[in-house]
Structure 1
Amino acid sequence: MKRPLVAVVALSLTAAGLAVPAASAAPSTCSAVQTNWTARTTPHAAPEALLNAYSNTGKGWTGADSTYSVPLSGGRTAWIFSDTFLGPVNADGSRPTTTPFINNSFVIQHGTEVKTVTGGTADSPTALVPPPSDGWYWFGAAQTSHAGQDLDVVALRFQRTGTGQWDWKWSSNYLARFDSKTYKLKSLTPIPSAANVQWSGWLLRDNGYTYVYGVEDLGASKYQHVARVRGDDLTAKQWEYWTGSGWSADETASARVLEGVANEHSVTRWGDGYLLVTHNTKELFSKSVLGYFSCSPTGPWVKPVELYQTPETGGNIITYNSHEHPDLRQGSSLLVSYNVNSLVSDDLYGDVSIYRPRFLSVTLAAAE
């Protein structure tokens, strides 16, 4: 019987080039940093109920983690998932132990209509990016490219190192490119992987660049790194890496920007500055969702504010990889998701409701 690899990569995992001219100095002050922010957070925000109801039908996706989202043409939203359970669901809310389990999938939402996209066939579903013989791919941050024709997803390749449950490691980074209408895989292209950084945390388009946020995962310590590519195609142009004072074409010159980020987090525009949302990985199995602020997409990140404490955390249950969905903001109200899992795989078969994303509506306001 195949059991899922519990996705605690986010919690417990863990060529020299020509120099590029230094970046222009970032503003030293902005209202995003000068303001003292407070958070008012409401759980169970949309689309949580919609995805839960769809999961309960047992007709496709019944739970997963990662939970990135990308707006597509025609009012569609592509939800990007890593380890995924498929139906059916038993009447008592449990899963058959024979239920299909794959390492990556999409859920496409169009209004209140939801459908699952996998590889393979309906009778024999497979991951959208098929696993190599010695491992699998987990999905990370995603965006569209080429005027929306392509859906680009960072795919992390993991490799088995033995026969035990925990005998595996991150191997390298890829870009999986899909047709944004048919969802068919068009290409799988290696992207930089020489600096022990998983360049899959977040993608931010800003001022003509795509900023790529990666995580150097050392197990107990996780550090954010920042790269960028001009335009929207991560495979077409030279990558540049933030060194702490400028940009370099040498990936190994990439600097540690912030300790304590999760493998999946977000960086978005916030007024005249930037907002970073992450689970707090300075604490083991933390329940704390934090927001940081900066005047620059490269940090420094300051004034952390606790946005939420996840009530599910405790016993076997863990929460992780919180981040924002900026295209689904409601005015100034953020939509933030986080993942829920169990350290005991049997729990995920006994209760289908555990392994589903949760969604938060977060309103930030200046402290009085």
Structure 2
Amino acid sequence: MHRRRLTAGCAVLAIGAGLLAGCADEGERDRGDCEAITADLDWAQPSRSDDARFELSGPGWVGGDSTYSVQLPDDRTLWLFSDSLIGALDERGTPAPGMTMVHNALVVEDDSGRLSTLTREGPESFFPDPGEQTYHWVQDAKVEGGELLVFLSLTSRVGEHGFEWERNTLAHVSLPELEVTDVEEGFEGPVAWGAGLLTTATHTWIYGIEDREEVKHLHVARAPAGSLADRSTWEYLGEDGWGAQSDESTRLTKGVANELSVSPFRDGYLMISSDTTQAYSPKINAWTACSPSGPWEQPQTIYETPETQGQHFTYNAHGHPELSPDGQLLVSYNVNTFDFDELMANPTIYRPKFITLDLA
């Protein structure tokens, strides 16, 4: 099911979508003077038609998490997944011999709705694993300067199924071929940048998560429009305002997850994230603000995931404004199980679910 694309530039937003933001310099406007922060949001509703696009039997991608999306210049939609099950399923959903898990994969959706899987031969992760004990999980991505820029989280294996985040990298992917041309190092500090990206008329806003304690904290950086790949242009919001030093970035709010989205909403902005104030919470929350940098108002719970029960849990909710119908925001979240044997026996558990939030 194809959606109308919404452009996040200031003057060219689709007003009917309820996503129009004010046209002042988004970094300098009054950070507490807008009607968006008074919005009383509705309860989101399941979108079975969007769930169905990933009810695949293979061969190829049949399950995975993260579920970021990017509209490509040729009107294809690119879906970016982290851990993914690659193989084929029979009519009962049972995996055929040869089912394997890779640490990241791309799924391309053409204008007819047909999906195709991109991995390296093997199959192996699309973004190559740097070593036997390290790998990349995807974060948000953006088309800029004729290429696709993908934020990656370099992650280390701990024990049989454990993991630990190490640092960010930034992948460059050619268009339209979708081939990795470079993976940049050089990120420092405790913040995983690229949890979400927002494009406005003046800047690209880069949201990061500090996940070194029990509570996860939101941070924000910004780059002038068109210069996301040049980290020398980035500014970080600190206690005393914007500065060039990443280690001066300050905590903005807590209880967000490692994946999130920020999109224009009325005369302000809307942030969507799974609730992490409690472990494995079923809640999906929304925050509002007058500026892309906040301050983010007290969150409203917009949905509770029915799949969260027993061994099953949900996580990493975020919006897809570029794929959303007028007046709504399409939101995805991931489903998983603590029982790895169950996952490998029934990959249909491991698929994104979608909901729609009314923004009228």
What range describes the TM-score normalised by the shorter chain of this pair? Answer: 0.7 to 0.9
1:40-79 to 2 correspondence within 5 Å? 40-52=43-55, 55-56=56-57, 58-79=58-79
Residue 41 of structure 2 is aligned to residue 38 of structure 1 = yes
Structure 1 residue 97, shift from structure 2 partner: 6.6
Please give the alpha-carbon distance, in whole angstroms, between the structure 1 residues aligned to 2:44 and 2:266. Answer: 19
Residue pair 2:30, 2:290 contacting (<8 A) in 1 also:
yes
Partner of residue 270 from structure 2, selected from 261, 269, 275: 275
Partner of residue 176 from structure 2, selected from 169, 174, 181: 181
Q: Which position in structure 1 is the counterpart of 2:149?
A: 152
Structure 1 residue 352, shift from structure 2 partner: 2.1
TM norm structure 2:
0.88
Letter in 1 for 2:174: D
Q: Which position in structure 2 is the counterpart of 1:299?
A: 294
TM norm structure 1:
0.86
Secondary structure in structure 2 of the residue aligned to 1:346: helix
Identical amino acids, percent of aligned pairs? 34
Letter in 2 for 1:32: A
Q: Which position in structure 1 is the counterpart of 2:120?
A: 119
Please give the alpha-carbon distance, in whole angstroms, between the structure 2 residues aligned to 1:135 and 1:90. Answer: 32
Residue 76 of structure 2 is aligned to residue 81 of structure 1 = no
Structure 1 residue 94, shift from structure 2 partner: 2.1
Please give the alpha-carbon distance, in whole angstroms, between the structure 1 residues aligned to 2:179 and 2:134. Answer: 21
Q: Which position in structure 2 is the counterpart of 1:104?
A: 104
CA deviations 1:255-282 (Å, max 9, x no partner) are 0001000000011110110000010000
Structure 1 residue 219, shift from structure 2 partner: 4.5
Structure 1 residue 327, shift from structure 2 partner: 0.3
Secondary structure in structure 1 of the residue aligned to 2:138: strand
Please give the alpha-carbon distance, in whole angstroms, between the structure 2 residues aligned to 1:73 and 1:200. Answer: 21
Structure 1 residue 137, shift from structure 2 partner: 0.5
Change in Cα spacing, 1:45 to 1:245, as seen in structure 2 (3 Å) is: farther
Structure 1 residue 28, shift from structure 2 partner: 2.4
Please give the alpha-carbon distance, in whole angstroms, between the structure 2 residues aligned to 1:47 and 1:105. Answer: 19
Please give the alpha-carbon distance, in whole angstroms, between the structure 2 residues aligned to 1:173 and 1:329. Answer: 29
1:246-285 to 2 correspondence within 5 Å? 246-285=241-280
Q: Which position in structure 2 is the counterpart of 1:235?
A: 229
Structure 1 residue 193, shift from structure 2 partner: 2.3
Residue pair 1:96, 1:349 contacting (<8 A) in 2 also:
no
Please give the alpha-carbon distance, in whole angstroms, between the structure 2 residues aligned to 1:160 and 1:65. Answer: 17
Structure 1 alignment gaps of length 5 or more: 1-22
> How many residues in Structure 1 have an aligned counterpart in Structure 2?
331
Change in Cα spacing, 1:339 to 1:331, as seen in structure 2 (3 Å) is: same
Structure 2 alignment gaps of length 5 or more: 1-26
Q: Which position in structure 2 is the counterpart of 1:26?
A: 30
Letter in 2 for 1:129: F
Please give the alpha-carbon distance, in whole angstroms, between the structure 1 residues aligned to 2:269 and 2:346. Answer: 38
Secondary structure in structure 1 of the residue aligned to 2:343: helix
Secondary structure in structure 2 of the residue aligned to 1:73: coil
Please give the alpha-carbon distance, in whole angstroms, between the structure 1 residues aligned to 2:318 and 2:164. Answer: 24
Letter in 2 for 1:85: L
Structure 1 residue 285, shift from structure 2 partner: 0.5
Q: Which position in structure 1 is the counterpart of 2:211?
A: 217
Q: Which has the larger displacement, 73-82 or 236-245?
A: 236-245
Secondary structure in structure 1 of the residue aligned to 2:349: coil
Structure 1 residue 160, shift from structure 2 partner: 3.7
Structure 1 residue 246, shift from structure 2 partner: 1.1
Consecutive aligned runs of 4 or more in structure 1 exceeding 3 Å deviation: none
Change in Cα spacing, 1:41 to 1:25, as seen in structure 2 (3 Å) is: closer
Change in Cα spacing, 1:238 to 1:73, as seen in structure 2 (3 Å) is: closer
Please give the alpha-carbon distance, in whole angstroms, between the structure 2 residues aligned to 1:305 and 1:192. Answer: 33
Please give the alpha-carbon distance, in whole angstroms, between the structure 2 residues aligned to 1:232 and 1:343. Answer: 41
Q: Which position in structure 2 is the counterpart of 1:14?
A: none
Partner of residue 355 from structure 2, selected from 336, 356, 360: 360
